[in-house]
A and B are shown apart, each in its own frame.
Chain A
Amino acid sequence: MLVRQNYESERYVPDKEMDACGIFGVMNTEGVRFGGRMAIDAIKNMKVRGSGLGGGFAIYGLYPEYRDYYALHIIYQNSNLTAKEEVEAFLKKYFYMVFDEEIPTNPDIRLFASPLAWRYFVALQKSRAEEDLSDEEYVISKVMYLNSHIEDAYVLSSGKDMGVFKGVGFPEEIADYFMLDQLYQGYIWTVHSRFPTNTPGWWGGAHPLSILDWTVVHNGELSSYGANRRFLEMHNYYCTLYTDSEVLAYAVDLLMRRQGLPIEVAAKIFAPPMWDAVGRMDDGDKELYTALRMVYAPLLMNGPFTVIVAHHNEMIGLTDRIRLRPLTAGAKGELVFLSSEEAAIRAVCPDLERVWTPNGGEPVVVRLHTREHLQSLNKSI
């Protein structure tokens, strides 16, 4: 007998359970702000979909008193104060600092390797050479610099009137740690419970992933990560967070903000129809979908995924084209829900009016002051 004893390896991680991340989003389509109770309770209800190795929230309508300034949420790993000095020197050079403070945390909640978390409200301070650059491009280039050049410093979010709170722990612990329910309100809340399978659980790698006011929570894995990443690098997006989901945040920014494509088209780039389905389309559609496949082949998201993408005024749910990860939508009055599981919606909204399962590759678009989401209801069964 060669192997009689079970050696515990340093690299031992518990057996991979056949589980997947949990995601949830809720939006008030009239723009009324509300607290985090629903998002927290819903994700808690899907506890088995996470492993305590990552949880996080994105909140929109978060800082109305600073709505004109970019809100940068930055973490410093290992409480690296040199990194903080470097970041602040950089920010003072390229931005006007309106206000900054440590993000308040609850000292009674003990989390794994919690970093120092700080928020800065800034206005742009463009040099003459950068005057022609749009505000968004300016902010992105600075965020990319911080993430890739200053060790131990990571920008969690960089949009106006929104913010990302995330870390290693179950999402309800992250919520307690940042006291989300007591301190904040918003009209969109998205939340993620992570079950990392291929990449480590660490604070920056938790979801939501974000750039400007775009956030993405993702369940699944992108086997096309390498191709997606190389394509995005050609457009000056640099992946630094050790997780496949990061490419989705940059891809939506590239397609929807920079190139101005509507979500309906972006969805067909990420999750294109099969070629045999394209073959049965009328000539106009056939040309469109063939062109999209040709031009944007490197942005096809291969592998199983469900995502909830959000930015101001909009929350979007999308699955891969053969729906290898679940997504359920629900609505009651002006509240619209997206969730990995129906029971989580029911748990926080027992008198739900309608619930439906969108088809693979068909986006559920929840838009401010519209009933757009009902379109996906009509397309689903």
Chain B
Amino acid sequence: MNGFNVKFGYRDIFLEDVQPVHILYETRVKTAGCRAVIDARGLKHKELTDLLREAVRRGSSELVINHVFGQRYIGTRLYSPFKDEKICIEVNQFPGNDLGAFLNGHRITVQGNAQDGVGNTMDDGLIVVHGRAGDVTAMSMRGGQIFIRDNVGYRAAIHMKEYKDKVPVLTVGGTSQDFLGEYMAGGIVMLLGLNLQEDEPHRARYIGVGMHGGVIYLRGRLAEHQVGREVEICPPDERDREIIGRYVREYCRYFGGSPQEIINGRFQKLIPASLRPYGQIYAS
């Protein structure tokens, strides 16, 4: 080996060469009333999140971010203990991972595809993606709503949770890859399968593995081996139909389509068979 300690080569990818926020604000932001248009081209994600925070601090409540190419954590650092105003953020294409992580009640609209970790541990608010989303969408989400027009990747809604009146909702218009709702502990997942052909089954496997709370409403066909052992499949009752109707109508409000046609499709309800699936695993 080279005989050097690796630390001499280490570089700080997050803070190296970050431009001061007041300079960025002068060069990158155009404001009109409460609306701020931000040019994100080439910015590091620390610079962009600084800039968003600064724009909100100076009174903007509607943020339009253009030329986004992979910057992470958009919408994350906008919590203020002194101000309850909710911000609207429009992301013009290709946000990076962890979009809206820890989101605190703000609304994010993405005009294109999103990457991995949309709404990671999101607390409240709304994320609408006019495209598809990547892996671990709605991971550990604990409140608010996410609407994805097309498909999601692996492990959507992994360990989603709920508490009293905080019930997170993930609505996916297309289908999903494997491990949807893995270790799910609460909340509502809607998988509408709108881009599947007539009678074409969902292809996701290991749906709801380790699930011990919450509910998945799945529209379309599914074989039994595609769901985890911890899951029970049953038909939706009256109350379920009401919930399905509410979120399908909202989905159609964002992306178009006929709510009635979607609601008339075949829905199945996936719930955990036990609230403590592994209660005996190390004890028996």
**Chain A interface residues toward B at CB < 8 A:** 10-14, 45-48, 50-53, 77-78, 112-113, 168-170, 196, 200-203, 242, 276-277, 280, 322-323, 326, 328, 341-344, 346-347, 355, 357, 359-360, 381
Contact = CB atoms under 8 A, between A and B. Distances in A.
Contacts of B178: 322-323, 359-360
Interface in B166-210: 174-179, 203, 205
Interface stretch (B6-14, B233-241, B254-262, B275-283): B6-14
A197 to B, nearest CB: 11
Contacts of B135: 323, 326
A113 B4 contact: yes
A13 B6 contact: yes
Nearest to A54: B9
Contacts of B179: 322
B1 interface: yes
Interface string B1-44: 11111111111111000000000000000000000000000001
Contact of B115 (A13, A14, A322, A342): A342
Given A322-B154, A326-B116, A343-B95, 11 more contacts: A14-B10, A45-B70, A52-B13, A53-B9, A113-B4, A276-B225, A322-B178, A323-B135, A342-B113, A359-B203, A360-B178
B177 A78 contact: no
B11 A341 contact: no
Contact of A343 (B2, B3, B6, B69): B69
A113 B12 CA distance: 18
Given A168-B9, A346-B69, A381-B177, A277 B205 contact: yes
A202 B7 CA distance: 11
A3 B215 CA distance: 48
Contacts of A170: 11
Given A168-B9, A326-B116, A202 B1 contact: yes
B94 interface: yes
Contacts of B12: 14
B214 interface: no
6 contacts: A13-B6, A48-B14, A51-B13, A52-B11, A112-B4, A201-B9
A13 B179 CA distance: 35
A168 B7 CA distance: 12
B97 interface: yes
Contacts of A53: 6, 9-11
Interface in B25-79: 44-45, 68-70, 72
B96 A200 contact: no
A203 B2 contact: yes
B93 interface: yes
B159 to A, nearest CB: 15
A357 B94 contact: no
A341 B225 contact: no
A144 B9 CA distance: 28
A343 B96 contact: yes
Contact of A52 (B9, B68, B116): B9
Contacts of B45: 48
Contacts of A52: 9-11, 13
A346 B69 CA distance: 7
B213 interface: no
Contact of B154 (A77, A323, A346): A323
Nearest to A111: B9
A220 B7 CA distance: 21
A280, A328, A341, most chain B CB atoms within 10 A: A341
B177 to A, nearest CB: 6
B2 A347 contact: no
Given A14-B10, A51-B10, A347 B177 contact: no
Contact of B97 (A277, A341, A357): A341
Which of B2, B45, B134 has the most C-beta atoms of chain A within 10 angstroms of its own C-beta? B2
B46 to A, nearest CB: 9
Contacts of A276: 225
B140 interface: no
